[in-house]
Amino acid sequence: MQSFININEYTYELPDDRIAYQPLANRDESKLLVYRQGKIDHEIFKSLPDFIPAGSLLVFNDTKVIPARLHFQKESGADIEIFLLNPVSPDTLLASAMLVKNTCTWHCAIGNLKRWKDGQVLSKALNGITLTASLANRTEGLIEFSWPGNRTFSEIITAAGNTPLPPYIKRAAEQEDTVRYQTIYSNHEGAVAAPTAGLHFTEQVFSGLKSKGVDREFLTLHVSAGTFQPVKAENALDHVMHHEQITVKRETIEKLLKHLQKIIPVGTTSMRTLESLYWFGVKLIASAVAEFTITQHDPYQLPDSVSPADSLRAVLSHMDSKRLMSITGSTSIFIYPGYRFRLCNGLITNFHQPGSTLMLLVAAFIGGQWRNVYAQALSHGYRFLSYGDSSLLLP
């Protein structure tokens, strides 16, 4: 296990005018940098099917972004911004938390907190009903929400909230963002950031992939705000990773077994989920644990000789014993240079922030070639970050 990774070696100069602040008019007309065995080509995303090997399995993250940014006005006129992070009660499982009625408590990031006094209840009128917010724990950022009637929390925040654009997109969310900061296949509510590699896909691209003999499968990782958390420590290994909820269906695992050596995740969130799934299988084999929880250190401390097939079969066996058709867990997996990928053979991803954990992941996947890839993207006018252009990495 490594003891030092200098984060300064995984940064680059990103001019402000290269950050994409708006989506393109058409999703699949973004640029596509294709990296294959050291060679780079510059294409358009709609041509993606031409570069995916026949027989591959593309794995997508079907999480759905929730309108997690809420604004409450105090009588004084002060604006209190509440950013939903994760549910605390009555249920911590996001799928269930979105269906709660009348009251719930969430861990939140709070803007202008000093203007919100203890005991003061904030309220917001929503089409005939009132949503209230109370500080349950100032130090921990816990907020209790209450509302009358029979509406779910999902319905409440759909009416009250705004699209949670990334912090580097310095503009207010617009109506267009409710559609464009969402993949066309988003399904399960819970993310507070989009799995942005999937934003480029259209039905036309899916049709092209199908005709090429490329299969597809979906899993769920609810992207948390921690994905934007910068690595502040000079030694990247001192960084504390965020945890995110993941769900994988039995049929997905069965399909993975049939496509070993040909698995291409769409986005770093899908990649992190797949690699976490492998390590859960290793845990099951090593110690018969029952809880699907992967820590940031697990990949570097667990036995590393288990084959991908044996790991996936162990997960299926565990599901059989529990009569489960899907498994839900959490991961804070930290992938950095030196990591050996077990399930992923390619990657479709956008261009990431300098010095971020996602840059470390890309560097782990394609080695020092990441510098050439990013230099080429900068010199060829690519747009960067969430609403930016895409790359296909086939090392």
Which residues are CB-neighbours of 183 under 8 A, at least 6 positions away?
Answer: 60, 61, 62, 194, 195, 198, 199, 201
Instruction: Using pLDDT thresholds of 50, 70 and 90, give the confidence band for residue 169.
Output: very high
Token digits of residue 301: 């401390």
**Shortest CA distance to 378 belongs to which of 388, 368, 387, 392?**
388
Q: Does domain 7-65+181-394 correspond to CATH entry 2.40.50.320?
A: no
pLDDT score, position 56:
98
Checking if the pLDDT of 288 tops 90, the result is no
Domain map of the chain by residue range? 7-65+181-394, 69-160
Which 8-state DSSP code applies to residue 172? Answer: -
pLDDT score, position 289:
80
User: What sections of the chain are H helices per DSSP?
Assistant: 94-97, 153-160, 177-180, 203-211, 250-258, 268-287, 298-301, 308-322, 357-366, 370-379
Cα 215 from Cα 198, distance rounded (Å): 16
Token digits of residue 394: 């086939």
Note the pLDDT tens digit of each residue in 335-373. Answer: 999 999 999 999 999 999 999 999 999 999 999 999 999
Note the pLDDT tens digit of each residue in 227-274. Answer: 999 999 999 999 999 999 999 999 999 999 999 999 999 999 999 999
The mean pLDDT of the chain is 97
CATH class of segment(s) 69-160: mainly beta
Which 8-state DSSP code applies to residue 352? Answer: P
**pLDDT mean over 327-333:** 98
How many CB atoms neighbour CB 197 within 10 A? 25
**Shortest CA distance to 250 belongs to which of 281, 273, 275, 219?**
219
Fold equal for 7-65+181-394 and 69-160: no
CA distance to 108, 190, 226, per residue, from 87 (Å): 9, 10, 15
Q: Cis before residue 195, ω within 30 degrees of 0?
A: no
